[in-house]
């Protein structure tokens, strides 16, 4: 029986990137309000189109595969060209297909990503599904991430699996899971080894005020049950609690930011990879940031994901870039 390092659980989708270079002519960007404005009923020229299989779980799985870990993915897709593209990607990247399901008569998920000035706005279509958790073999880690409405149906089975096998859970909730709230995820959170979110998501999840201090925000999440917590905060860096100490890390300011899709997934997966390989939280945060910094130099969530040799090169180049206690 195969012992996986990670079993990734989450939705897969086709991302179609619409890349606009001459954005100042067609768009009005109001960063302070997070608005991307375009004239109603106008025609917007697109400079480049790219298609790729993505989603939090596929992105993290590809990252782990490139780092040499034994992995599988639990994902339900349609019986279409998109799912065949996903199958080819997973086989290429060393992701086991033991729990990959193509449901007859259904469509796969689809997203249109408008990439403008280093950021992205995503229009998402989720196919309604009856989610179910297959009979999973033991693994060192389970990695639960973005799934659509109805995915809470698998929570009891996942909790049972974690208790039975002793697998550790990394929980990187997606939009629906965040909106579901902590109360309906109580048992799952109590079994969570590592909870990973960005600052805005954390505030939403615990119902905190916008000006809450980061340590207080971490403490509110601690009360929900996770044994370790990581909160990212864009260009301000990231923060963590490893069960004993609080850590903070800035960002590498000399990195060219081409497009931000998948930066959060790259961070979370880099963190997961390092922890699985036995590194402590401060070093794991370094790996996480290196993976994310590499990804934002490319279009899409996977092209820049690091192999294990890549982490070593970045670690050597930025040997003084470290997490500090706060």
Taking alpha carbons only, the member of 271, 174, 278 closest to residue 230 is 271
| Domains of the chain by residue range | 8-29+45-325
Residue 175 in 3-state DSSP? helix
Query: Average pLDDT, stretch 123-143?
Result: 95
**How far, CA to CA in Å, does 198 sit from each of 37, 80, 267?**
25, 33, 11
Which pLDDT value is given to residue 29?
74
Q: What is the spatial distance between Cα 240 and Cα 232, in angstroms, rounded to a whole number?
A: 9
Q: What is the spatial distance between Cα 133 and Cα 155, in angstroms, rounded to a whole number?
A: 9
Find the range with the poorest average confidence among 148-152, 181-185, 227-231, 261-265. Answer: 261-265
The DSSP element (H or E) to which 238 belongs, if any, is: strand 238-241
Residue 103 banded pLDDT, cuts 50, 70, 90: very high
Q: In the predicted model, is pLDDT for residue 24 greater than 70?
A: no
Residues 207/199, Cβ–Cβ less than 8 Å: no
Rg of the chain over all Cα atoms, to the nearest angstrom: 19
Q: What is the spatial distance between Cα 51 and Cα 30, in angstroms, rounded to a whole number?
A: 28
Taking alpha carbons only, the member of 68, 63, 215, 78 closest to residue 145 is 63
Residues 116/29, Cβ–Cβ less than 8 Å: yes
Residue 1 banded pLDDT, cuts 50, 70, 90: low
DSSP secondary structure letter of residue 247: E
Q: What is the spatial distance between Cα 105 and Cα 97, in angstroms, rounded to a whole number?
A: 20
Query: Average pLDDT, stretch 257-263?
Result: 77
In this predicted model, what pLDDT tens digit does every residue of 27-81 receive, in sequence order? Answer: 777 767 677 787 788 888 888 898 999 999 999 999 999 999 999 999 999 999 9
User: Which CATH superfamily is 8-29+45-325 part of?
Assistant: Ribokinase (3.40.1190.20)
| Tokens describing residue 173 | 């909730």
Residue 315 in 3-state DSSP? helix
Residues 97/70, Cβ–Cβ less than 8 Å: no
What 120-127 contacts at long range (C-beta under 8 Å, 24+ apart), as own/partner pairs, is 120/17, 120/259, 120/260, 120/261, 121/36, 122/15, 122/261, 124/13, 126/11, 127/78
Per-residue buried b or exposed e for 16-43, using 16+ beta carbons within 10 Å of the residue's own CB: bbbbbeebeebbeeeeeeeebeeeeeee
Query: Average pLDDT, stretch 114-138?
Result: 88
Which pLDDT value is given to residue 17?
87
């Amino acid at each position: 029986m195969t012992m996986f390092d990670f079993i990734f659980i989450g939705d897969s989708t086709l991302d179609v990137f619409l890349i606009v270079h001459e954005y100042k002519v067609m768009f009005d960007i109001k960063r302070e309000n997070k608005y991307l404005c375009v004239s109603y009923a106008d025609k917007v020229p697109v400079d480049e189109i790219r298609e790729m299989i993505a989603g939090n779980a596929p992105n993290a799985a590809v990252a782990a595969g490139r780092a040499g870990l034994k992995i599988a993915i639990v994902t339900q897709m349609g019986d279409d060209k998109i799912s065949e593209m996903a199958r080819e990607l997973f086989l290429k990247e060393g992701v086991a297909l033991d729990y990959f399901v193509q449901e007859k008569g259904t469509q796969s998920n689809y997203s249109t990503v408008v990439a403008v000035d280093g950021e992205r706005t995503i229009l998402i279509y989720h196919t309604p599904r009856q989610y179910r958790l297959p009979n999973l073999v033991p693994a060192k880690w389970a990695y639960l991430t973005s799934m659509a409405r109805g995915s809470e149906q698998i929570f009891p089975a996942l909790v049972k699996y974690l208790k039975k096998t002793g697998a550790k859970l990394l929980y990187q909730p997606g939009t629906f899971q965040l909106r579901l709230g902590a109360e309906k995820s109580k048992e799952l959170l109590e079994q969570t080894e590592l909870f990973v979110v960005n600052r805005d998501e954390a505030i939403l999840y615990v119902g905190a005020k916008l000006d809450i201090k980061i340590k207080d925000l971490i403490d509110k999440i601690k009360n929900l049950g996770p044994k370790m917590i990581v909160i990212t905060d864009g260009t301000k860096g990231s923060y963590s609690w490893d069960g004993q100490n609080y850590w903070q890390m800035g960002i590498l300011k000399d990195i060219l930011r081409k497009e931000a899709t998948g930066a959060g997934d790259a961070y979370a997966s880099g963190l997961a990879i390092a922890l699985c390989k036995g590194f402590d939280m401060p070093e794991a945060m370094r790996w996480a940031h290196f993976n994310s910094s590499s990804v934002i130099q490319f279009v899409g969530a996977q092209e820049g994901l690091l192999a294990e040799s890549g982490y070593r090169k970045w670690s050597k180049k930025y040997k003084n870039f470290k997490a500090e206690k706060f």
